[in-house]
Amino acid sequence: MQMRKPGNSGLEVSAIGLGCMGLSFGYGPATEKSEGIKLIRSAFDQGVTFFDTAECYGPFVNEELVGEALVPFRDQVVIATKFGFQDGDSTKPLDCRPERIRAVAEASLKRLKTDRIDLFYQHRVDPGVPVEDVAGTVRDLIQEGKVKHFGMSEASAQSIRRAHAVQPVAVLQSEYSLWWREPEQKVLPTLEELGIGFVPFSPLGKGFLTGAIDATTAFDKTDFRNVVPRFSEENRKANAGLVDVLGKIATDRDATRAQIALAWLLAQKPWIVPIPGTTKLHRLNENVGAAAIDLSADDLAAIEVALHQITVVGERYPAHMQQRIDR
């Protein structure tokens, strides 16, 4: 697989990474550990060198899974993890106090079975702690060799600038896909200006863009999508037009919808690296295949025209989580 440099921090990773969250958290029951390890190692065998986890995925068990799976290739991969929630529990308030960040770093290093975190993200901006203090704490961890790069997630352009002035932000990770393009307004221009890379999460629209989900899909009772307004039965029905459009483009290109959704992201900027998540080997293979698809200017224009005829409905987070983004 081709490599990409997300920003000018020196990071270099495979053009498509692997989001590991769903193996333990968010989308129904966790995958059995040996199966999760097999999937992560298969990703590496297919050229993936960028793996995404977080303290709060599980919590804790996803970091353990990723750490164990990557031990044999540790020096050939980039491991990204995140801090930010009280007790590592994403249902609790944020806690980005310097002492808490330090404690998470130590615990994450142990769980990941490593001596350095390649990319350490602030998961959400904490209104109780100035981003300058967060950036300063990560700067200290970098000086101590425990962390290699600083990242932020779902931060506003203004917070990115403030943090970047204290410790250069290597990468921003926020939602971006064919059905959530808001980062194009302010965030992407800011990243381009500052030389910061961009890692779109939920690049497949949490599965919706692939066509595998429709209005009749019943999610497991523990699946986060049950409380996401965009995934209400009514909104899934209303957003089906987008899946149809993607299907037509995919057929024309002899590709799948998932591949077109990922290739579209790759075509936006050379410093973008999407991290699709899957628990299934055949889908991993399909998603990795998107790196070989080069959408032409005509393809991109056709997608643009088609998207203009569609209005996506439904918020992408429930109200209490919506407050935590774009701070």
* Run of H or E including 52: strand 50-52
Nearer to ligand NAP, 58 or 205 (CB): 205
Q: φ, ψ for residue 182 (rounded to 5)?
A: -55, -35
Angstrom distance (rounded) from CA 12 to CA 4: 6
Active site residue 57: yes
Q: Shortest approach of ligand NAP to residue 202 CB, angstroms?
A: 4
Residue 148 is encoded by which pair of tokens?
């290699």
Nearer to ligand NAP, 108 or 287 (CB): 287
Q: Shortest approach of ligand NAP to residue 298 CB, angstroms?
A: 24
Among residues 79, 126, 131, 125, which one has the least CA distance to residue 105? 79
Angstrom distance (rounded) from CA 23 to CA 201: 15
Q: φ, ψ for residue 36 (rounded to 5)?
A: -65, -45
Q: Shortest approach of ligand NAP to residue 183 CB, angstroms?
A: 13
Contact 126, 94 (CB under 8 A): yes
Q: Shortest approach of ligand NAP to residue 31 CB, angstroms?
A: 8
Looking at residue 111, its amino acid is: R
The catalytic position among 27, 57, 121, 176 is: 57
CA dihedral sign of residues 16, 305, 315, 150: positive
Q: Tokens 């590709």: give the residue.
A: 255
Nearer to ligand NAP, 52 or 299 (CB): 52
Closest-approach residue to ligand NAP (CB)? 19
Q: Shortest approach of ligand NAP to residue 213 CB, angstroms?
A: 8
Nearer to ligand NAP, 92 or 301 (CB): 92
Report the interface residues with ligand NAP, using CB under 6 A.
19-22, 27, 52, 123, 153-154, 173, 201-207, 210, 212, 258, 275-280, 283, 286-287
Contact 271, 4 (CB under 8 A): yes
Nearer to ligand NAP, 168 or 203 (CB): 203
Residues with catalytic annotation? 57
